[in-house]
Amino acid sequence: MESTVAETYKDRVTLAITGASGAQYGLRLLECLVAANCQVLVMISRAAQVVIATETDETLPGAAKEQEVWLTARFSAAAGQVRVFGREQWMAPVASGSGAPSKMVVCPCSTSTLSSIANGASNNLIERAADVALKERRQLILVPREAPYSEIHLEHMLKLTRMGTVVIPASPGFYNRPESVEDMIDFVVARILNQLQIEQNLMPRWGEDSLS
């Protein structure tokens, strides 16, 4: 008898990567979720594809099915562990409360997508998936990056925070004495994984001396 998704994977997470700077955060988060044996339902906005091409040496294909093959190979995921959905793939599980995972992260989150989520736009699959998370009162984590923030950005973050969304700014700390860009990326990704309650060994929690 074939095993179900729930039996195969420890958890299911929706991950949207949008066009704010910091594509590395989203890609590293995906890598960690795969390593933690989660199934990840991924959406990558068109702007995010431009940012990935600008900020990394990775050449992500344009179409969702090809991205799925590419990301599966890139992160040594099992077949079906990473599923990628396109901008208007309305029949995807994330488009409905009955099919969507209980956890969703938008990382990084552009101010454009932040605005659309705060206003319930649902004009593409990322916005719809976030709207589903909000209406179902499920976990939604946003990782915005902009500098400085306008009053509009802050209002959107406040509105969503009041609805239970967790906003984790892409702003690494320095008290752990990062020695590389990777250390700084892991600082933020560790916080996201902690919020998701997915075990991580990137950073000790405060008050823990080392990872054991």
Report the binding-site residues for dimethylallyl phosphate.
175, 191
Burial class (CB in 10 A: 0-12, 13-18, 19+), 32: buried
Collapsing DSSP to helix, strand or coil, 20 comes out as: coil
For position 54 contacting ligand FMN by CB under 6 A, the verdict is: yes
The number of residues that bind ligand FMN (CB under 6 A) is 16
Task: Quote the least distance from Cβ 36 to ligand FMN, whole Å.
Answer: 25
For position 110 contacting ligand FMN by CB under 6 A, the verdict is: yes
32, 33, 38, 48: which one binds ligand FMN (CB under 6 A): 48
**Pick from 202, 179, 193: which is nearest to 107 by CA?**
193
Q: Which is nearer to ligand FMN, 54 or 161 (CB)?
A: 54
Task: Quote the least distance from Cβ 98 to ligand FMN, whole Å.
Answer: 25
For position 121 contacting ligand FMN by CB under 6 A, the verdict is: no
Q: Which is nearer to ligand FMN, 50 or 181 (CB)?
A: 50
144: cis peptide before it, omega within 30°?
no
For position 89 contacting ligand FMN by CB under 6 A, the verdict is: no
What is the DSSP annotation of 116-150?
HHHTT---SHHHHHHHHHHHTT-EEEEEE--SSPP
**Which is it for strands 103-109 and 139-144: parallel, antiparallel or unpaired?**
parallel
Binding residues: 19-21, 45, 110-113, 145, 175, 191
Collapsing DSSP to helix, strand or coil, 104 comes out as: strand
Residues contributing to the site for ligand FMN (CB under 6 A): 18-21, 45, 47-48, 50-51, 54, 110-113, 145-146
